[in-house]
Amino acid sequence: MGLARPVVFGNWKMHGLRADSLALAGSLVERAVRPTGTLGVFPPATVLRDVARRLEGSRILAGAQDCHPEASGAFTGSISASMVKDAGGTAVLVGHSERRHGLGEDDAVIRRKVLAAQGEGLLVVLCVGETEAEWQAGEREARLRRQIHEGLAETVDAALLVLAYEPVWAIGTGRTPSLEDIAGTHAFLRRELVGRLPAAQDVPLLYGGSVKPGNAADIMALPDVDGALVGGASLDAAGFWSIYQAGGGA
């Protein structure tokens, strides 16, 4: 079935100097003695190598928050998929809304990033989600369908893919869709994936957007919710671990 459930990933975003990041990684290692699911963190690129080394032998994966679609070149400030791998990363986030809307990345660029990352054998966590305006206008499904069909080439390896649904309006706001909405959206995403890729039935579907210890259990108990992509709450080891446990991890 691929990755063991629950699949709980922490996106540290632009937080953490070396000492902070190593302390956080160490706290997770102490808790994850024999993890029964899949746990991973995505630290800033500046500390990826250090965090990956701290996590060695723990079965907690370390990944990058982005990669460039090209293998190398004059792309100041960017890192390639091979650089992520060289730094000890085994996964990469692609298409996070903070890059789509903050940096103008479109589905064509994201599609190239997915292929570049998988070309290096990296697990890709593709983030999709609608804006509040699209949600209120009833355009959620149309938007998600475009992100899946335009962001994923038909040659994508489903064994190296995770899909994370993050409604843009819920990220960092404390607001979440209703449980009914989440369940319906994840069922839709599963159908779209199965219609797009072979073996897509086994691709983990994560929910992201203001996931915290108080709502994690209810969210991850829903059908077709295989785990969570956690933002701010992943910066606290105890809270992040409790989210993992809420999904059945130990």
Per-10-residue mean pLDDT, the chain, length 250? 91 98 98 91 98 96 98 98 98 96 96 98 98 94 98 96 95 90 97 94 96 96 97 97 94
Query: In this structure, which amino acid lies at residue 204?
Result: P
CATH architecture group of domain 7-246:
Alpha-Beta Barrel (3.20)
**Annotated binding residues for substrate, as ranges?**
11-13, 172, 210, 231-232
pTM of the complete model beyond 0.85 = yes
CA distance 149 to 4: 26
* pLDDT value of position 35: 78
CA distance 89 to 87: 6
* pLDDT value of position 172: 84
* pLDDT value of position 187: 98
Query: In the chain, where are the structural domains located?
Result: 7-246
* pLDDT value of position 2: 83
* pLDDT value of position 243: 98
* pLDDT value of position 34: 83
CA distance 135 to 173: 15
- On whether the CB atoms of residues 189 and 195 are closer than 8 A, the answer is no
* pLDDT value of position 82: 98
* pLDDT value of position 30: 96
Active site residues per annotation: 96, 166
